[in-house]
Structure 1
Amino acid sequence: MKNKSNIYIGLLMSLICCIGFTSCDNNLDKMNVNPYGIAPGEVNPNLLMPTILASAAQSYADLGVNDLAGAVQHTQKNGWYGGHNNYGWESKDWTGWYDILRNNDLLYNRAVELENNYFQAVSLTMKSFVFGNITDLWGDAPYTNALRGNELDPNFQYPQFDSQEVIYDGIIADLQTAVTLFNDANTTAVVPENDLYFGGDIAGWKRFANSLLLRYYMRISTKKPDVAQTGIEAIYASGEYIQSVSQDAALDYTGGASDIWITRHIAMDPDDFQRYQACQTFIDQLMRTNDPRLPVWFAPVRVQWEADESLEVAAEDFIRNDGEPLGVITYPFDDFVNDYADENFTRRYNPNLVSYNDAEYVGLPPSLMVPESYNGNPSPGQGTQNQHVSQLADIYQSAGTPGDILKARLVSSAEVSFILAEAALKGWNVGDAETHYYEGIQKSLTVWEQEANYDSFIAEEGVIFNNTLEQVMEQKWVASWTAAAEAFADYKRTGYPNLATGPQSPQPRVALRFQYGNDEYNNNADNITDALERLELTDYSGGFGKDSQWSKSWLYQGTTAPW
């Protein structure tokens, strides 16, 4: 009976399909029209801009506080830390970046149809910014024939991978075109509120485009020094680039649940927030130079170790409040320490029996085997509070909007000053390296509301200008806090700062790139093969072959940087 019923059902469905196709054949085009959608040819560019600008800034800031913050050793995590601490970048997906590019492509096409130079130039600037991040992180990628999947030629559904050189050249050409378009643009059709970066200010966008040009000219400066020098000198001479903190290309933090800021985790998932902890590499730098930004970014340890050689045990199993023992046995404390925020909590150990870091600020060393147990944490566990390691400062766990200090900065005036300092060290005609170096520091201190400490800070040993690239890149690395994508690119290009990996790293060197995602292998296999052939194996590529985090893309091939 069951088989017979299935036959009848199959015949009935076939009959229905035949009738359906017969009666609807001439109306298939109408069936595929979304009555609630807006045709691409009717989209208002103002409505596209917020999605493009917010998504790009948030994706960039996400890199800066997550995986790349771990790679450049600003932070480490004590839970779910494979990608953050140990370069677990296998099969990294770039779909989100290409989603931004698809919306941006629609913006560009509508701008061309409307003959609107402003929207064209904005679109070219954002295209350059997004493709810049893609090639910085992966290397070769679909570029020339990307975003053409809606065309009749089926080959465009599986675009070729352009070389990294072609992509950088295209980025620079598009930014040059954007600057020219901004010169002849007007904002009569622009809704300022929808321009989340500059509120419809053409001069702001032109400075942003030129500053991106400075960034990417410096990226290629080893491979194409003449091109880079000519471009950077011309932009410097024009004066039309980001020169002050008020001109930074940035997206304000809104406090909304859609923001990627780790700040939101305290309300949505406190355990997730607690996984972010300082990296000892960064803490060492900040403490060595008495950097006033240290307490802005990180909290002191909640319970500081205190050496006591008279102890008969390795460490006390209780804490002290202003030196007096408390009836609290180890941890977890729940909110105990928070309830007594002004108290001085310590715990004693015998340095002859055990080694602990007893500084006021303590970070996790990079790539630890078991970071959640570091420095004598008595209640280890993924995402638990380690009272003996510094977490992020309180401003990062505010449930509301914490003011103007937190932003997603796409290009900052501090970054631009350090670029010019590096260019001056090369002997290029961009002014004085020392002046640009100190201006970069001053602008970063201003961003983090520490400008009052500028004079004392630049007098510190190690901060006083010594005319070396290493020092310039070191201070640029510090200033790139929450914008770690730039520190990562700089490290790969220059080898500074000098970063060492830890025991859990699969290779004894810092990784260089993301692996291509599984979608490319499954759907674009022929084209990805050519891209893989253009990668350079290194001594650390390991078992992944050419698509390894430790293989070199075009920009670093033939160089000794960073290793």
Structure 2
Amino acid sequence: LTDLFGPVPMTEAVNGEAGNLYPAFDSQQLIYETILADLERANTLYDQDLNMVYAEDILFANDVSLWQKFTNSLHMRLLLRISNRTETNAFQKLTAMINDPETYPVFETVEESAVLQVTGVTPNISPWGRPQDFPLGVKMAAFFVDNLNVLEDPRRPIIQTGAQDLDNNPIGYKGIPSAYAGPESQFEFNASTLNRAQVENPMQIFLMTYAEVEFIKAEMAQRGYTTNAQEHYEAGVTAAITQLGATTTEAYFDNPVAAFDGSLEQILLQKYYALYFVDYQQWFEFRRTGLPQLPTTEAMLNDAMMPSRFFYPSDVQISNQANYQQALELLGGPDNINTKVWWDNN
């Protein structure tokens, strides 16, 4: 929530039964400091010699070691998120975690990732009630498709359908520019759309993946804090492909476009694809880094600037007005999509 809006209720949240229906807001800095402290403490509480006393959980089937790895993997994500705030010493804390895997174990395989397995058995069903609606009115963006084509990436048929010419002949995978001017009829082909199989039961909902952990390590190495950037980059790419059910070989990296060139841009482009279908993480990462460099057009709204946050819901403005005004003071700007949150000082 705080990455979406900025200041949100935390210390007074979830107190409706106690009569507090209009909670105060907390600063994003305090929220992050609290969450990071909680994750640090949680890591010290796991005891793999004790069985969990509850019924089998839906993420890790009561595997204590995987819950600990999830805790530390999430800790890494959030430290990297705030790393542009140099006063947090986030890079130094991340370095210490990476260099001490015995104290801070993290995901080490695709199978260990935090993934909700949607079985299709009520109530564990796809959030898309009508999977056939998933691709309606949606065309794949040329930037997204073109990079995968150059990479000869095996994820293409899993993510999207093939494009067709106007005679319905297949022409491979092809997208259209984001926010183009003029009618869609200007394109003399039918562009690729989203593959509806992605939201049909059974399906997977990614919360935090091993691939993301490897890309965090790759970025840290590329920035000079740790080592083995190429090893982590290749592990991240391979894991990202595998998590979607595709397969890759070492030949994938024989492609000059896929071969590691040492740049942060390349790491974050592949991380962009690894975060496909991982809630809002692509957007959060773009706000943190400005990467990958997404094309813009004159037809885009907001002067072609990527939004920095969501508006607060209108019911907050109406029903919790005093605390809404306090939230704007903590935010440090107007309630619009261009006001940056605390960690977003890129």
Q: Report the TM-score, using the length of structure 2 for normalisation.
A: 0.90
Equivalent-residue separation in structure 2 for 1:440 and 1:552 (angstroms): 29
Query: What residue is the counterpart of 2:112 in the other structure?
Result: 247
Of residues 552, 556, 563, the one that matches 2:340 is 552
Of residues 475-484 and 225-234 in structure 1, the stretch that sits farther from structure 2 once superposed is: 225-234
> 2: distance between equivalents of 1:551 and 1:174?
28
**2:157 matched residue in structure 1:** 295
How far off its partner does 1:375 sit?
Answer: 2.0
> Identity across aligned pairs (percent)?
29
Residue 373 of structure 1, CA deviation: 4.6
| 3-state SS in 2 of match to 1:500 | coil
1:416 aligns with 2:228: no
Q: 1:408-457, CA deviations, whole angstroms, 9 ceiling, x for partnerless residues?
A: 1111000000001111122223x311111111011112223333x33122
Instruction: Give the secondary-structure state (helix, strand or coil) at the position aligned to 2:277.
Output: coil
Query: Counterpart in 1 of 2:176?
Result: 364
Shift of 1:186: 2.7
Deviation of 1:229 (Å): 2.7
Whichever residue aligns with residue 195 of structure 2, its letter is A
Instruction: Give the aligned partner of residue 237 of structure 2.
Output: 441
State which of 305, 320, 327 in structure 2 corresponds to 1:509. Answer: 305
Unaligned residue ranges in structure 1 (runs of 5+): 1-133, 306-318, 320-344, 347-357, 377-386, 538-545
* Distance in 1, Cα, partners of 2:267 & 2:331: 30
The match for 1:203 is 65
Mark the CA change 1:276 to 1:257 in structure 2 (over 3 Å): closer, same or farther. farther
SS at match of 2:162: coil
1:396 to 188, 198, 210: 198
Task: State the shift of 1:198 in Å.
Answer: 0.4
Instruction: Give 1:532's aligned residue.
Output: 328
Aligned counterparts of 1:292 and 1:372: Cα–Cα separation in 2:
28
Give, in whole Å, the separation in 2 of the partners of 1:233 and 1:482: 28
The equivalent of 1:221 in structure 2 is 83
Matching of residue 138 in structure 1 with residue 11 in structure 2:
no
CA displacement at 1:525 relative to structure 2 = 1.0
Residue 276 of structure 1 deviates from its aligned partner by 3.5
* Mapped pair 1:238 → 2:101: yes
Partner SS for 1:522: helix
| Alpha carbons 1:139, 1:553 under 8 Å: kept | yes
Q: CA deviation at 1:359?
A: 4.9
Match for residue 474 of structure 1 among 261, 264, 269: 269
Show CA shifts across 1:228-259 (max 9, x none).
23432333212510110010011112235763
SS at match of 2:18: coil
Mapped to 2, the partners of 1:225 and 1:415 lie a distance apart of: 24
Do 1:501 and 1:510's aligned partners in 2 also have CA atoms closer than 8 Å? no
Judge which range, 178-187 or 210-219, deviates more.
Answer: 178-187
Letter in 1 for 2:108: Q
| Structure 2 equivalent of residue 278 of structure 1 | 140
Q: 1:414–1:441: 8 Å Cα contact kept in structure 2?
A: yes
Conserved? CA contact 2:48–2:64, under 8 Å: no
Give yes or no for contact 2:27–2:331 (8 Å, CA) kept in 1.
no
Change in Cα spacing, 1:287 to 1:536, as seen in structure 2 (3 Å) is farther
Gaps in structure 2 of 5+ consecutive residues: none
Structure 1 residues 150 and 261 mapped into 2: Cα distance closer, same or farther (>3 Å)?
Answer: closer
From the superposition, tell whether residues 371 and 241 of structure 1 become closer, same or farther in structure 2 (CA, over 3 Å).
farther
For the residue of structure 1 that corresponds to 2:206, the secondary structure is: strand
Q: Secondary structure at the match of 2:207?
A: strand
Q: How does 1:12-31 map to 2 (within 5 A)?
A: none
Cα separation, 2, equivalents of 1:536 and 1:359: 50
- Secondary structure of 2:179's aligned partner: coil
For residues 146 and 289 of structure 2, what CA distance do their matches in structure 1 show?
21
1:183 partner SS: coil
Change (3 A) 1:148 1:449: closer
Secondary structure of 1:274 counterpart: coil
Whole-Å Cα distance in 2 between the matches of residues 508 and 394 of structure 1?
A: 29
More helix by share: 1
Aligned to 1:455: 250
| Cα distance in 1 for residues equivalent to 2:257 and 2:87 | 29
| Equivalent-residue separation in structure 2 for 1:260 and 1:510 (angstroms) | 29
The one-letter code sitting in structure 1 at the alignment partner of 2:240 is S
Where 1:419 maps in the other structure, the secondary structure is helix
How many angstroms apart in 2 are the aligned matches of 1:184 and 1:295? 41
Change (3 A) 1:246 1:225: farther
What amino acid does structure 1 have at the position aligned with 2:165?
Answer: Q
Instruction: State how 1:24-173 maps to structure 2 within 5 Å.
Output: 134-151=1-18, 156-173=20-37
Q: Distance in 2 between matches of 1:364 and 1:477?
A: 19
Shift of 1:551: 1.3
Q: Is the 8 A contact 1:364 1:374 kept in 2?
A: no
Return closer, same or farther for 1:365/1:549 CA change in 2, 3 Å cut-off. same
User: Quick one: distance in 2 between partners of 1:280 and 1:470?
Assistant: 19
Q: Rate the CA distance shift 1:212–1:397 in 2: closer, same or farther, 3 A.
A: closer
Q: Deviations along 1:197-216, whole A, 9 cap, x unmatched?
A: 00011001000000000000
Aligned partners of 2:183 and 2:47: how far apart in 1? Answer: 53
Q: Secondary structure at the match of 1:391?
A: coil
With over 3 angstroms needed to count, the CA separation of the structure-2 counterparts of 1:271 and 1:434, relative to structure 1, is closer
8 A contact 2:307–2:338 mirrored in 1: yes
C-alpha distance in structure 2 between counterparts of 1:371 and 1:201, whole Å = 53
**Higher mean displacement: 410-419 or 168-177:** 168-177
